Amino acid sequence: MTNNPIDIVVIGAGIIGVSTALELQARGRTPLLIDREGIAAETSRGNAGAFAFSEIEPLATPGIMRRAPKWLLDPLGPLSIPPSYALKIAPWMLRFWRASWADRYDHAVTAQTRLMNHCEAAFERQLSRFGDANMIRREGQLELYEGARAFEQAQPKWQRRSDLGIDVTLLTSPGDIAEIQPGLSRKFTHAGFTPGWFNTTDPQKWTESLARRYANQGGGFEALEISDLTPRSDHIELVTDKGKLQTKQVVICAGAWSHRLAAKIGDSIPLETERGYNTTFEHTTVDLKTHLTFAQHGFVMSKIGVGLRIGGAVELGGLDLPPNYRRAEILVQKAKSFMPELDVSDGTQWMGYRPSLPDSLPVISPSGAGDRVIYAFGHGHLGLTQSAGTAELVADLAMRANPAVDLAPFAATRF
């Protein structure tokens, strides 16, 4: 086997890994996609399905550490830290706080904007080459506010987006809001509408459709768990639950678990998980016209198939604690009070692990072992949105071509 290593292994078959394998294949490489479970088995399965190219602001906004304690004290609030995880998350929170300093925040917004512009163009390329246009809904997004004060506080964000050329319409009455989305509580007095936003009809099916395309073109997949990797002189050795593999290059797209593999080659990356919850209803009694974001409550409502999904929240609870589905119930209760006609019986609850770095930017980067091991993880709330763009950048790195975006802000060594 030493004489015939695999060309390139992609670890993780979420949306990042699947898109990467497909792009590598399109560039003439022969990837082997590996996942311990299957295609879209984790976070890429249950997300809200949004391609949110306008979401350029990191979570660590200036002043967030003043507002966070209030959220943490609210048991129904959008942010929670289980007491047993509070100490473990402290170093990440410190980095998060630093990332909220004005200069770092501005730097992150600039980097994210450049990446988003690339990702939007890359998505259209991916869609036209490999995707199914029937799986994309171009219906915009409505971000809702209760009262003029909350809306005014959000103005810097809307102004920035407008200055960057993002098409936005600001609405200042329940009547204007009802013209876009009827049936909402009149306590939502203000909103920002982003017509250019779009969603997939189902993120799991979208990922599976790309994986099918990859397989139909001869792409290989193996259900294996990778427990170790070691760079050797002319190959990388991977230890799997079914024996060893050798490969010339490897891309780590293992979502919220990626740092565990990076640590095996000596890279310490402060990846944490922002656990998120949702409930999916196979059918719905309301006619959702657009993707709804309840800005002050940290959750969204989106169409999935012929039903809908209500989800969001951030729980900084690590990879091992059991889910607390009370958080999903709270979101549904709130949604029902915001849209009284909603039938909320028979939903399916889910928790997913957003892979998150403190500065809300992903790692798209060669590893400390050079470009024989490439990292593509940490996309936080935006993995679906940034999947096609990330895949192109990873393929650039793997092919030793000039990446289309300056990757310094996304370097593994930036921490």
Ligand X SMILES: Cc1cc2nc3c(=O)[nH]c(=O)nc-3n(C[C@H](O)[C@H](O)[C@H](O)COP(=O)(O)OP(=O)(O)OC[C@H]3O[C@@H](n4cnc5c(N)ncnc54)[C@H](O)[C@@H]3O)c2cc1C
- Tell me the closest approach of the beta carbon of residue 357 to ligand X, in angstroms: 11
Give yes or no for residue 278 binding ligand X (CB under 6 A).
Answer: yes
Binding residues for ligand X, total number by CB under 6 A: 43
Inter-residue contact 342 to 286 (CB < 8 Å)? yes
Query: CA angle, corner 202, sides to 196 and 207, nearest 5?
Result: 100
The 8-class DSSP code of residue 306 comes to T
Tokens of 251: 């891309």
**Number of other residues whose CB lies within 10 A of the CB of residue 3:** 7
Residue closer to ligand X (CB basis): 57 or 176: 57
Burial 163-197 (b: 16+ CB within 10 A, else e): eeebebebbeeeeebeebbeebeeebbbbbbbbeb
Give yes or no for residue 303 binding ligand X (CB under 6 A).
Answer: no
Write out the H or E segment, with its range, that includes residue 51: strand 50-51
Stretch that binds ligand X, among 63-71, 92-100, 210-218, 349-357 (CB under 6 A): 349-357
| Site string (51-80) toward ligand X, x via CB under 6 A | -x----------------------------
Phi and psi angles of residue 273, each rounded to the nearest 5 degrees, phi first: -120, 135
The closest alpha carbon to 307, from 275, 278, 337, belongs to 278
Give yes or no for residue 389 binding ligand X (CB under 6 A).
Answer: no
Query: What is the widest separation between alpha-carbon atoms in the chain?
Result: 70
Give the chain's count of helices (H) and strands (E).
12, 20
Please give the residues from 96 up to 125 whose contact with ligand X meets the rule CB under 6 A: none
- Tell me the closest approach of the beta carbon of residue 413 to ligand X, in angstroms: 20
Give yes or no for residue 381 binding ligand X (CB under 6 A).
Answer: yes
Residue type, 34: I
Among 32, 36, 304, 394, interactor with ligand X by CB under 6 A? 36
Residue closer to ligand X (CB basis): 176 or 289: 289
Give yes or no for residue 317 binding ligand X (CB under 6 A).
Answer: no
Please give the residues from 219 up to 238 whose contact with ligand X meets the rule CB under 6 A: 225-226
- Tell me the closest approach of the beta carbon of residue 261 to ligand X, in angstroms: 6
Residue closer to ligand X (CB basis): 89 or 178: 89
Give yes or no for residue 346 binding ligand X (CB under 6 A).
Answer: no
Inter-residue contact 126 to 16 (CB < 8 Å)? no
Give yes or no for residue 375 binding ligand X (CB under 6 A).
Answer: no
Contact residues: ligand X, CB under 6 A: 11-17, 34-37, 41-44, 47-50, 52, 225-226, 253-257, 261, 276, 278, 311-312, 352, 354-355, 377, 379-385
